[in-house]
């Protein structure tokens, strides 16, 4: 009888330990996901100044524009970048 009680007690402890381990594993998995999210967020935040560093400067008014919005003309080996066609025209009239 006491052997049976001990067996049940051990089984309960074993079950509890397994439950706790499972809970810890789940927690660490969630934690890892959260850490990954935070890292992604931080990369996005720190990626913003890097993106602005890729901006090109208008040769006419000096405004910074994204390369894909910029108007680029290249002639005689020199490349000139303008923020808009208006600036390009203004620069051409001034020159």
Report how far residue 16's alpha carbon sits from residue 22's, in angstroms, rounded to the nearest whole number: 10
- Among 20-28, 37-45, 60-68, 70-78, which window interacts with Zn ion (CB under 5 A)? 60-68
If one asks whether residue 81 binds Zn ion (CB under 5 A), the answer comes out as no
CA-wise closest residue to 59 among 24, 20, 90: 90
Q: Which of 60, 70, 81, 88 binds Zn ion (CB under 5 A)?
A: 60
- In angstroms, the CA 63 to CA 87 distance is 10
Q: How far is the CB of 49 from Zn ion (least distance, A)?
A: 22
Binding Zn ion (rule: CB under 5 A), the pick from 56, 58, 71, 88 is: 58
């Amino acid at each position: 009888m006491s052997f049976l009680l001990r067996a049940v007690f051990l089984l309960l402890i074993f079950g509890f330990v397994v439950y706790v381990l499972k809970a810890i594993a789940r927690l660490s998995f969630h934690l890892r996901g959260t850490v990954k999210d935070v890292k992604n967020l931080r990369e996005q935040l720190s990626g913003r100044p890097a993106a602005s560093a890729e901006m090109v400067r208008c040769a006419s008014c000096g405004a910074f524009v994204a390369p894909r919005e910029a108007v680029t003309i290249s002639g005689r080996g020199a490349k000139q970048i303008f923020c808009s066609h208006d600036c390009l025209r203004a620069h051409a009239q001034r020159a």
